Amino acid sequence: MRIAVVGTGYVGLVSGVCFSEFGFKVTCVDKDKNKINNLNSGKIPIYEPGLENIHERNVAAKRLIFTSDLYSAVKGADVVFIAVGTPSRRGDGHADLKFVYEVSKEISKAIDGYTLVVTKSTVPVGTGRKVKEIIKKSNPSADFDVVSNPEFLREGSAIEDFMRPDRIVVGLETERAKEIMSTLYRPLFLLETPVIYTSLETSELIKYASNAFLAVKISYINQIADLCERVGANIDEVSKGMGLDKRIGNKFLHAGPGYGGSCFPKDTLALVKTANDNNSPVTIVDETIKYNNFRKINMLAKIQNSVGELKNKNISILGLSFKPETDDMRESPSVDIIDQLVNLKAIISAYDPAAMDEAKEIFSDKIKYFSSSEECIKGSEIVVILTEWNEFRALDPNLILNLMDGNTIVDLRNIFDPIAMRSAKINYISIGRN
């Protein structure tokens, strides 16, 4: 079976590489020639643990190739995955489907024999049908089926998530499509991965309903953390107490500065738009979006309350990516928080184990960049923890204090123990813990 994957971002690249690891011949396509050149010379354009090894192994085995020539990649492919971006459309928050539709049209011209066109991008209900129409209109004689196969991988553990997913969701309409999809995922059926075969619409909605639910869960625990601060309770213990209930589960119950990343912000917005368009509002998700936006901004007050005037204060930021183990800074809370600090004329030093290149693109010379926590902290009056990278957890409070010029740590990820911090004479502020 020959597979083409269009779009070699976080999802397309991981999917392509993993399908080649299953033994299929995979061609990954991207219109970004620079990315393709890098991939062809062995350079992985994203930080994703474990990806480099699998990429190298499958390129060497000649099962995995990269090209910017979509036509030749699709011609002769049995399955074509669409894995391009679906960002928020400027102005109205709907998912912007222009890349998906552009690619569908291009694919239609190269279809050569029965082909399965699979949307792996996160796309609103109705997109699969629209893709079908586009292909039919542009190439009436094309023999194809459209399948929805949303991806649930998480950046930072993408390989493991792809290889051992909680479930595989497949929306389709024909037995022929089902046969091919089950061949593709056979290695995972052997691991007894649950598979849901359903309609295109249901499959598309499962993805949005899942992401929005997780965003709601995060916002819920963040609001409970606010309440903890008012009533003298401890959010870590509240989360633990709640999470042990199997009906609730302990995942996504960590209070923090608000969710970010390339998925939750845009997917919650897109779900609200779809729901409103269909006169069936999801008000819980709407409230979640508003609260999360407020929260990211409100984190500034937390920093201000700890030290007062921020003008000309030396502030070190540890962690920039929206979560650990990725270089992705899309919609990261760090962007809103640093922007506000810069506007207030604070002097910002920053360090992240993986996202420094991304940060330079975003902030250019508005902030200073360092290559280790220690260098970043040196001489600062306030240290703010924005991403819970493991290497920050191991920092010794006495060492931090010796390097700093002040003694305030604002820990927006609750990575340190308040008792240890206070006994080291650190003015320690965290989330939902007094």
Give the footprint of ligand NAD on this chain (CB under 6 A).
Answer: 6-12, 29-32, 35, 70, 83-86, 99, 102-103, 121-122, 151, 153, 155, 262-263
Give whichever of 119 and 239 is closer to ligand NAD, judged by the CB atom: 119
Residue 35 or 413 with smaller CB distance to ligand NAD: 35
Pairing outcome for strands 195-198 and 314-318 = unpaired
DSSP alpha helices (H): ranges in 278-396? 283-307, 333-343, 356-363, 373-377, 390-393
Q: Closer to ligand NAD by CB, 163 or 303: give it.
A: 163
Least separation in angstroms between residue 207's CB and ligand NAD is: 7
* Nearest approach, Cβ of residue 106 and ligand NAD (Å): 7
- Locate all alpha helices (DSSP H) within 185-282, ordered by sequence: 186-189, 200-231, 235-243, 264-277
263 catalytic? Reply is yes
Cβ distance 194 to 168 under 8 Å?
A: yes
Nearer to ligand NAD, 66 or 428 (CB): 66
Residue among 20 and 373 whose Cβ is closer to ligand NAD: 20
Residue by residue, DSSP assigns 361-386 as: HHHGGGSEE-SSHHHHHTT-SEEEE-
Rg value, the chain, Cα: 23
**In 3D, which of 118, 121, 135, 21 has the Cα closest to residue 79?**
118
Q: How far is the CB of 117 from ligand NAD (least distance, A)?
A: 14
What are the Cα distances from residue 78, in Å, to 99, 374, 413?
21, 52, 46
> Which residues, in sequence order, are bridge partners of residue 315?
348, 382
SS3 category, 317: strand
Nearest distance in Å: CB 419, ligand NAD: 36
Q: Could you count the other beta carbons within 10 Å of the beta carbon of residue 56?
A: 14
The helix (H) or strand (E) run that includes residue 119 is strand 115-119
Catalytic residue among 18, 28, 228, 263: 263
Least distance to ligand NAD, CB of residue 209, Å: 14
Nearer to ligand NAD, 151 or 411 (CB): 151
Least separation in angstroms between residue 364's CB and ligand NAD is 21
Between vectors from CA 161 to CA 160 and to CA 163, what angle results, nearest 5°?
65
Question: CA angle 363-312-400, nearest 5°?
Answer: 80
Element containing residue 56 per DSSP (H, E): helix 51-60
- How far is residue 266's CA from residue 88's CA, in Å, rounded to a whole number? 5
Q: With respect to ligand NAD, which residue has the nearer C-beta, 84 or 341?
A: 84
Pairing of strands 408-411, 382-385: parallel
Residue, CB closest to ligand NAD: 9
Q: Shortest distance, CB of residue 156 to ligand NAD, whole angstroms?
A: 9
Q: Which residues are catalytic?
A: 263
